[in-house]
Amino acid sequence: MTLKEQMDAGKHIFDKIESLFKENRFQEAYEYIQTENPPECWLIELDSISKKGSKYKTIKLELMEAVMRRIFGKCEISDISSPVVCQDKMGNFAATVTVNIKVDYIDSRIILPGIATEVVNSINLLPLAIPKASSMAVKNAIKQMGRLLGKYLNNEAEEIELPIEQAEKIMTKEEEAIAVQQGIVSAKTLQDLKSWRHIVFSRSGTLENQNLYETRLREFKH
């Protein structure tokens, strides 16, 4: 199904929430988001990494963000960390990213924190791991809004990659910058490139990588 079709399938949910908003029944609207199941067509099944041979259900990030915007009007990342990259005794690397999602709700502001770690077995794969960890952190933050956004899928045991224990080596800022640079250069589509934006323009992002990102962005748009 297309994103539009999935959003259309949730029309009755959005209408219900809007009705409660108009009647100033804000607590009921919040509880509805917390308890209402997502439509089946919103869900996808993926192979489990931690439990071989089994699957788990999730909602695509694109749809989660669209649902948040449809309900609240605005949903944005207020803060994203630079990736924390470490290496274990077996040579595996882990990239961990934390984010804060800002949601304006009635007269207050909700901050939803999220964290995710992506594990790879080679430093050459870090350019793929970092944006994936960033996307998963955003998903984990949005899920906190309630059952409607997938909070209780899989018996409250969503597929989560944990940080590597007993990390021996923390990558230097220079090594992190090189990994980000490789990711920008290796991006094959505009969507791949944009997955790096939050990291590139975070507080730890380098001017060199920001200029490289803008250059590649212009290449894709021409």
Q: Can you tell me the mean pLDDT for 193-208? A: 80
For residue range 121-144, what is the model confidence (pLDDT) as tens digits? 877 777 778 888 888 999 999 999
Share of the chain above pLDDT 70, in %: 91
For residue range 27-44, what is the model confidence (pLDDT) as tens digits? 999 999 999 999 999 999
Distance CA 80, CA 137 (A): 9
Which residue type is seen at 33? I
CA 4 to chain centre: 20
Reply yes or no on whether the pLDDT at 213 is more than 70. Answer: yes
The structure's pTM equals 0.71
For residue range 143-192, what is the model confidence (pLDDT) as tens digits? 999 999 999 887 644 444 444 444 445 567 787 788 788 888 877 788 77
pLDDT at res. 168: 46
Q: Which residues of 126-157 are buried (b: 16+ CB within 10 A; e: fewer)?
A: bbbbbbbbbbbbbbbbbbebbbbbbbbbeeee
Residue 105 burial (CB < 10 Å; 0-12/13-18/19+)? middle
Domains and CATH numbers, the chain: 3-170 (3.30.390.80), 172-222 (no CATH)
| Residues 193/148, Cβ–Cβ less than 8 Å | no
pLDDT at res. 53: 77
- Which residues is 77 bridged to in the sheet? 101
pLDDT at res. 21: 92
Look at 5-9, 75-79, 184-188 and tell me which has the smallest mean pLDDT. 184-188
**Strands of the chain, DSSP E:** 43-47, 55-59, 75-80, 84-87, 93-105, 108-120, 169-170
Distance CA 119, CA 133 (A): 9
